[in-house]
Structure 1
Amino acid sequence: MKKWSKLQKELYLIIDPEIDFQIHCVAYPMRSRYGNTDLPRYWITLGKEIIFDYPKQFVSHDGGIRNYKPHGITKNYPYNNDISDISDLIREYIDTPVSEIFTKHFENDYWGLANILRAADRRIGQRRLDILRRRIKNQAAQKILEVRFKKSTVNNQENS
C-alpha cells in the first residue's frame, strides 16, 4: 500500500471544506504466539459520527468479509482484507476527470464508497447533489448530503 497520508491529502483537496468530513486508515499490529499481522481499519467520520467503518461493518463473526464482490465472501480477516482495494478505489476516484465523476460506474467499489465520496465532493454542484440524493440508498452518503444541503441553505440565507 502506498503512503496513506499522501492519498488522504489529495482526497481532502476535493472534499467540501464546509462539512466536517474526515477519512482515516491505520493498521494496528497484532502479535501473538501464532504469528504477526496487521489489523487494517478504514473509517470515515462526519462530525463526531463514524459513518463508514471497515472492517466493522463488513466482517462477519466467522471472519468472512461481506462486501459486494461478485465472487462472494473473502475469508480469513485480517490475513485477507480489502484495504489495498479501498485505497485503489480512492485513487481511481481522485484520478477520474470531473466531467465523469457523477456518471462513472466504479467497477471495483464493493463497499458503496464511491457514493460517499460523490456526496462529499465539492466539485459536484447542488443540482447534481439533489439528483444523487434521490438516486442512492447509501445511508452514509445520505448523511453527508443532508449536511451539505443544510450548509448550502444557511449560506444562501446569509448571502440574501
Structure 2
Amino acid sequence: MSKPWSKLQKEYYLLVADGLKIQLQCRAYRMASNYGDTNIPRYWLTLGKEVLWDYPGDFMGRENPERAPTGAFPYIMDVSDISSLLREYIDTPKDAVFNRVFEHDHWGLTDILKASDKRIGRRRLPLLKEKLSNPAAIRVIEARLT
C-alpha cells in the first residue's frame, strides 16, 4: 500500500454520494497457531448495517467456489492488490469512471464503488444498473435512487 489505509479510506469517502450510509473497512486480525502467528486481513463494505461485500469471507468457496484461492493463507497477498485496486479506482477521472473496466478486480468491488460514486449522478444510475449483475452494487444503486 502506498498510503496508510485511513488515508485511502478517506479519499474513497470523498467520492461517496451524499447521504449514502456506506462504510468500507479494512482490518488485520492476529491469528496464533502451533506453527506461528500471522495477521489475517479482512475488508468489508456495509450499507447501513447490511454487509454487502466481505473479503475473505465471500471468497472462501461457499458462495463463489470458482474464486476460492488455494493454499494456506493466500489472502495475505490480496490485501495490497485490493488496496491498489481502490487506489486505481479513486484516481480514475470522472469522465472515464462510468465505462472503465478494471481488469484486476477479481472480487467484484469496483461495481459497488461505481454504484456509490457521486461522480456517477442519479440520472445515469439506471443505465449503470442495467450494465451490472452484481447484487451488492444493485442494492447500492437502489439505495441511492430512493
Which TM-score applies when normalising by structure 1? 0.83
Identity of aligned residues (%): 50
How many angstroms apart in 1 are the aligned matches of 2:89 and 2:14?
13
Take 2:7 and 2:76, find their aligned partners in 1: how far apart are those partners?
A: 24
| SS of 1:5 mapped into structure 2 | helix
Partners of 1:102 and 1:94 in 2: how far apart? 13
Equivalent positions of 1:142-157 (< 5 A) are 142-150=138-146
Partner Cα separation in structure 2 for residue 25 and residue 94 of structure 1: 16
Larger Rg over CA atoms: 1
How big is the alpha-carbon RMSD for the aligned residues of Structure 1 and Structure 2? 1.8
The C-alpha deviation readout for 1:87-113, integer Å capped at 9, x for no partner, is 110000000111100111111011111
Q: How does 1:76-115 map to 2 (within 5 A)?
A: 76-77=72-73, 80-115=76-111
Matching residue of 1:157 = none
Structure 2 spans left out of the alignment, 5+ residues: none
Q: Kindly indicate whether residue 10 of structure 2 is the aligned counterpart of residue 14 of structure 1.
A: no
- TM-score, structure 2 as length reference: 0.90
Count of residues in Structure 1 that have an aligned counterpart in Structure 2: 143
The one-letter code of the counterpart of 1:44 is L
Instruction: Call closer, same or farther: CA 1:81–1:59 in 2, change over 3 Å.
Output: farther
> Where in structure 1 are there 5+ consecutive unaligned residues?
151-160
Question: Secondary structure at the residue paired with 1:57?
Answer: helix
